[in-house]
Structure 1
Amino acid sequence: MTSDKRPRVFVARIIPDEGLQPIIAQTDADVWQDELPPTRDELLRRVEGVDGLLTMLTERVDDELLDRAGPQLRVVSNYA
């Protein structure tokens, strides 16, 4: 059985269109729009239930964040 559900991805920072467009085209992307990074509380809130997470090196990815995302989380990536 094939699922038509697109994976949910949170992009925690603004990145160039060349990197962002493929993500938007293939996922249900939630893209952070502010020049300033999300606060820790905002990051924890936005990762709940996502299948993928794209961060910068400045975001702390730790057990708390991974647990908050949930067991369906499959990909965590850093954009550098």
Structure 2
Amino acid sequence: MGLKKTSIKRNEITIDQAELLAKKLADRPYGQEKTDAFVRTTISLPKKLLLVIEDLALKNKRNGINPKNNSSIIRAALEEYLIKHK
């Protein structure tokens, strides 16, 4: 008497479901949790100040130095300000 094979019914996964899962997992670091999550906020700046920040970001990007984007420049300036005014 031979062993009876049991068939396991698996749900077929569509391409759309696979794409959705890939997008969901794409921003997660492999094997580690994000410890310092960023949150978005809105600030208002004078146009001249924003232009200076954008120019600096572009210059830094071209020279391969940090900070390379507006958010990083503003974050660094704010951190420096908070340290100075503790």
TM-score, structure 2 as length reference = 0.21
Larger Rg: 2
TM-score, structure 1 as length reference = 0.22
Bigger fraction of residues in helix = 2
Bigger relative contact order, structure 1 or 2 (CA pairs below 8 A, ≥6 apart): 1
Bigger fraction of residues in strand = 1
